[in-house]
């Protein structure tokens, strides 16, 4: 039924495609129960759903007009039955409308630019270091100023020639810059002095990513702001993208307790392995025998597929210069010595194959907010949006920390000053207070001034979007037409399902009665009623011929009943005897081979099953059976479909009796 629903629904949309999109107010061609359709409207629909390269066909126009009339009658019937007032209908239509409205709240040019930018960045990997001064997004202005001054002091030191790694170690508030001591649950992390390793597009927050991709190798950026705080970013390397690769390694670990001699010993072992590999030794075998990575040693050292940001830069940097199948000399990472083999490096896929994936990532990422911000900016200009921020502090003064517990209950009087207005809309302090009350949730406290400012921006954006959404049908005829198509399509399905599809399936009595009127449309062809006698497991060809002769003489010549003959044959316990009497279509059923169309005719054969085992088959034509109706159970699907067509015709005929339909024949002739 889901398939049927989808097919019929799409068909209804096809019939209704572009309806009401035309602004042609020409002559009325059609009036269905008071709903008029002009020539321009109908021809637009007709041409959209027919081959526009062919000359208009009088018959096809007339036929299409009847389809359209039937469609409008069915929808009118559904409306009169109240289907458009049901909760389920309204919910379903609202869901479709929300999807249809989405493009009107998206700046596609912004999204397309971000997709292209994402793909361009995908082509290269960046290695960068940073210095971080933490500053939460919700920090008060005074705290933001403190962080801003601190990062600029650091920036000034760098401009004077201070070493970036040393400065990061000393001033960065990223704990990894100085290293992290180990614990029972976590191994220690060595100081990275700001080095973040390699990364690619979508690996970092968008402002950080953008600054890194716009900074030249060996240079550092001006301070930039992200959700974590302020950063200065130094780009130390840029390479053609690694993509998602598969590599293997043979590993000799070191830990925080290892001394120099341990490292030298591990390095010597790794080098001896590398030399063996250069002479042709098996990487898989050596990984199994000597690698200390027990998770991969039994798999030839193969690691799960990874991208440049998933492993330490010392490991990753080796792979850029390898070709699949090549092995690099031993490399030291913070974890130990590795002998690395590149297995697969597919490269960056074609744009067409990743475009949809990039679009999804853009929409999920903070960069996707650019599209919303662009739409908001456009609406503010279009609707002459204006703010009165002087009225906002009075609201801020009412808000307490209870709002972060979801229990804020303001007591306010005369909060009637306008905060912002646009088009014919005005929103006061009280409107905003009501919004704050309705949206308050339990959450982490933050500075009240910051919270109220953010909520005010959200309130204004929400009201702009709501206003635009409520006026889409009036502003955009194409959108109104699409919503109407879905409106009518849902009604068509629901009404047709009740009166035709489901009824035909559930009304077993009606189906049986209908079958009696159409059963001669579903006839078997002329058939043979035949009896087959099969004797299996016969030992030897000689014995098979004797049994065949015996069966022919008794079953065919003497007309011994087949079951009596079967009993005689089964006295030989080695034999397996099968008898079947049924009706067959000559030339279609495999049991009937070269059987003449006359009663008493028969065919016979001996089949060699194996070296010493044979089977005898005899098939006799008992009688010819004239064409006769197939039973309902065998053709139920076809009959049900015919019954649905029958019910639909009755329904349409009744609608034509109930609702007036008039076609302006003179106008119709003018378009034929």
Q: pLDDT confidence of 248, banded at 50, 70, 90? A: very high
Is 402 contained in some domain? yes
> With 80 as the cut, is the pLDDT of residue 62 above it?
yes
pLDDT digits (tens, 9 = 90+) for 376-396: 999 999 999 999 999 999 999
Domain boundary among 344, 375, 399: 344
> With 90 as the cut, is the pLDDT of residue 668 above it?
no
Q: pLDDT confidence of 184, banded at 50, 70, 90? A: low
Domain boundary among 190, 218, 240: 240
Contact 569, 561 (CB under 8 A): no
pLDDT at residue 612 in the model: 87
Q: Are residues 502 and 641 in the same domain?
A: yes
pLDDT at residue 594 in the model: 65
Neighbours of 197 (CB within 10 A): 23
Mean pLDDT of 75-88: 96
Look at residues 135, 306, 309 and name the one whose alpha carbon lies nearest to residue 212: 309
Contact 400, 451 (CB under 8 A): no
Q: Are residues 132 and 225 in the same domain?
A: yes
Q: Are residues 574 and 638 in the same domain?
A: no
Q: What Rg do the C-alpha atoms of the chain give, in angstroms?
A: 41
- In whole angstroms, how far apart are CA 276 and each of 49, 169, 250, 328? 71, 41, 12, 13
pLDDT at residue 43 in the model: 82
Q: Are residues 509 and 634 in the same domain?
A: yes
pLDDT at residue 598 in the model: 81
Q: Are residues 546 and 618 in the same domain?
A: yes
| 3-class state of residue 502 by DSSP | helix
Is 534 contained in some domain? yes
Q: Are residues 611 and 659 in the same domain?
A: no
Q: Are residues 336 and 289 in the same domain?
A: yes
Here the tokens at position 330 are 């031993």
pLDDT digits (tens, 9 = 90+) for 259-312: 889 999 999 999 999 999 999 999 999 999 999 999 999 999 999 999 999 999
Q: Are residues 230 and 290 in the same domain?
A: no
pTM given for the model: 0.75
Q: What is the CATH number of the domain that holds 250?
A: 3.10.50.40
pLDDT digits (tens, 9 = 90+) for 135-177: 998 898 899 999 999 999 999 999 999 999 999 999 999 999 9
How far is the first Cα of the chain from the last one, in angstroms, to the nearest whole number?
38
Which positions ≥6 away from 582 have C-beta within 8 Å?
A: 529, 530, 591
pLDDT at residue 1 in the model: 44
Q: Tell me the C-alpha distance between 123 and 242, whole Å.
A: 8
Is 359 contained in some domain? no
> With 50 as the cut, is the pLDDT of residue 14 above it?
no
Residue with tokens 């456009």: 378
The CA dihedral of 145, 147, 153, 155, to the nearest 10 degrees, is: -110
Angle in degrees, 0-180, between the axes of helices 58-80 and 477-496, rounded to the nearest 10: 70
Q: Is the dihedral of CA 216, 217, 221, 227 positive or negative?
A: positive
Better-scored residue on pLDDT, 504 or 188? 504
pLDDT at residue 258 in the model: 82
> With 80 as the cut, is the pLDDT of residue 592 above it?
no
Q: pLDDT confidence of 6, banded at 50, 70, 90? A: very low
Contact 321, 239 (CB under 8 A): no
> Residue 44 CA to chain centroid, in angstroms?
33
- In whole angstroms, how far apart are CA 298 and each of 274, 287, 288? 19, 7, 5
Q: Are residues 254 and 207 in the same domain?
A: no
Contact 336, 254 (CB under 8 A): yes
Is 98 contained in some domain? no
| 3-class state of residue 621 by DSSP | strand
Is 92 contained in some domain? no
Domain boundary among 189, 215, 240: 240
Is 612 contained in some domain? yes
pLDDT digits (tens, 9 = 90+) for 541-552: 999 999 999 999
Q: pLDDT confidence of 133, banded at 50, 70, 90? A: very high
Q: Are residues 507 and 644 in the same domain?
A: yes
Is 89 contained in some domain? no
pLDDT digits (tens, 9 = 90+) for 18-54: 333 333 347 899 999 998 988 877 887 787 676 554 5
Is 371 contained in some domain? no
Look at residues 531, 536, 121 and name the one whose alpha carbon lies nearest to residue 365: 121
Q: Are residues 500 and 466 in the same domain?
A: no
Mean pLDDT of the chain: 91
Contact 224, 154 (CB under 8 A): no
Domain that holds residue 282: 246-344
Contact 624, 530 (CB under 8 A): no
Which positions ≥6 away from 133 have C-beta within 8 Å?
A: 147, 150, 151, 154, 171, 172, 173, 229, 230, 231
- The dihedral region occupied by 201, where left means phi > 0, alpha psi between -120 and 50, and beta the remainder, is beta
Number of domains in the chain: 5
* Half-sphere CA count of 215, side-chain side, radius 13 A: 25
Look at residues 248, 249, 246 and name the one whose alpha carbon lies nearest to residue 344: 246
Here the tokens at position 143 are 């705290």
Q: Are residues 504 and 639 in the same domain?
A: yes
Contact 30, 42 (CB under 8 A): yes
Neighbours of 80 (CB within 10 A): 13
pLDDT at residue 41 in the model: 77
> With 90 as the cut, is the pLDDT of residue 317 above it?
yes
């Amino acid at each position: 039924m889901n398939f049927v629903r989808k097919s019929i629904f799409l068909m209804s949309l096809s019939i209704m495609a572009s309806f009401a999109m035309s602004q042609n107010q020409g002559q009325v061609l059609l009036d269905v129960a008071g709903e008029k359709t002009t020539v321009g409207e109908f021809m637009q629909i007709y041409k959209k759903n027919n081959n526009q390269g062919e000359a208009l066909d009088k018959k096809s126009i007339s036929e299409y007009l009847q389809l359209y009339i039937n469609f409008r009658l069915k929808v009118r019937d559904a409306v009169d039955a109240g289907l458009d007032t049901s909760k389920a209908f309204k919910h379903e239509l609202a869901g479709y409308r929300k999807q249809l409205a989405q493009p009107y709240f998206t700046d596609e040019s912004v999204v397309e630019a971000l997709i292209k930018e994402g793909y361009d960045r995908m082509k290269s990997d960046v290695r960068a270091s940073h210095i971080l001064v933490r500053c939460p997004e919700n920090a008060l202005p005074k705290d933001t100023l403190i962080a801003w001054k601190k990062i600029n002091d650091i920036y000034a030191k760098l401009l004077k020639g201070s070493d970036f790694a040393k400065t990061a170690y000393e001033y960065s508030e990223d704990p990894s810059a100085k290293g992290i001591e180990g614990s029972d649950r976590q191994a220690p992390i060595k100081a990275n002095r700001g080095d973040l390793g390699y990364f690619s597009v979508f690996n970092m927050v968008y402002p950080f990513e953008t600054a890194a991709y716009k900074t030249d190798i060996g240079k550092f950026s001006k301070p930039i702001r992200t959700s974590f705080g302020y950063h200065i970013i130094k780009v130390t390397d840029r390479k053609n993208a690694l993509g998602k690769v598969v590599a293997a390694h043979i590993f000799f670990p070191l830990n925080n307790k290892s001394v120099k001699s341990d490292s030298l010993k591990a390095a010597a072992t790794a080098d001896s392995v590398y030399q063996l590999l250069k002479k042709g030794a098996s990487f898989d075998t050596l990984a199994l025998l000597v690698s200390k990575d027990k998770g991969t040693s039994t798999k030839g050292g193969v690691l799960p597929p990874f991208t440049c940001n998933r492993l330490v830069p010392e490991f990753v940097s080796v792979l850029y210069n390898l070709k699949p199948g090549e092995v690099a000399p031993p490399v030291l990472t913070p974890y130990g010595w590795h002998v690395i083999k590149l297995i697969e490096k597919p490269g960056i896929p074609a744009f067409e194959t990743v475009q949809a994936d990039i679009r999804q990532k853009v929409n999920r990422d903070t960069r996707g907010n650019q599209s919303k911000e662009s739409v908001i900016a456009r609406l503010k200009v279009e609707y002459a949006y204006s703010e009165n921020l002087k009225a906002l502090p009075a609201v801020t003064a009412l808000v307490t920390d209870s709002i972060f517990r979801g229990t804020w209950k303001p007591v306010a009087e005369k909060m009637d000053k306008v905060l912002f207005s646009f088009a014919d809309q005005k929103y006061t302090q009280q409107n905003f207070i009501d919004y704050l009350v309705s949206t308050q949730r339990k959450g982490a406290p933050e500075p009240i001034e910051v919270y109220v400012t953010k909520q005010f921006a959200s309130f204004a954006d929400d009201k702009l979007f709501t206003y635009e959404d409520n006026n889409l049908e009036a502003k955009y005829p194409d959108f109104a037409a699409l919503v109407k198509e879905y409106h009518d399509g849902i009604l068509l399905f629901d009404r047709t399902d009740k009166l035709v599809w489901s009824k035909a399936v559930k009304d077993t009595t009606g189906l049986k009665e209908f079958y009696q009127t159409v059963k001669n449309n579903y006839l078997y062809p002329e058939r043979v009623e035949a009896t087959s006698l099969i004797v299996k497991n016969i030992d030897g060809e000689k014995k098979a011929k004797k049994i065949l002769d015996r069966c022919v003489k008794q079953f065919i010549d003497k007309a011994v009943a087949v079951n009596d003959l079967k009993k005689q044959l089964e006295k030989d316990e080695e034999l397996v005897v099968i008898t079947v009497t049924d009706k067959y279509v000559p030339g279609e059923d495999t049991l009937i081979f070269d059987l003449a169309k006359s009663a008493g005719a028969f065919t016979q054969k001996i089949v060699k099953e194996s070296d010493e085992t044979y089977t005898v088959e005899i098939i006799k034509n008992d009688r010819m059976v004239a064409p006769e109706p197939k039973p309902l159970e065998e053709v139920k699907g076809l009959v049900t479909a015919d019954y649905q067509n029958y019910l639909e015709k009755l329904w349409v005929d009744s609608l034509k009796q109930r609702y007036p339909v008039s076609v302006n024949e003179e106008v119709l002739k003018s378009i034929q």
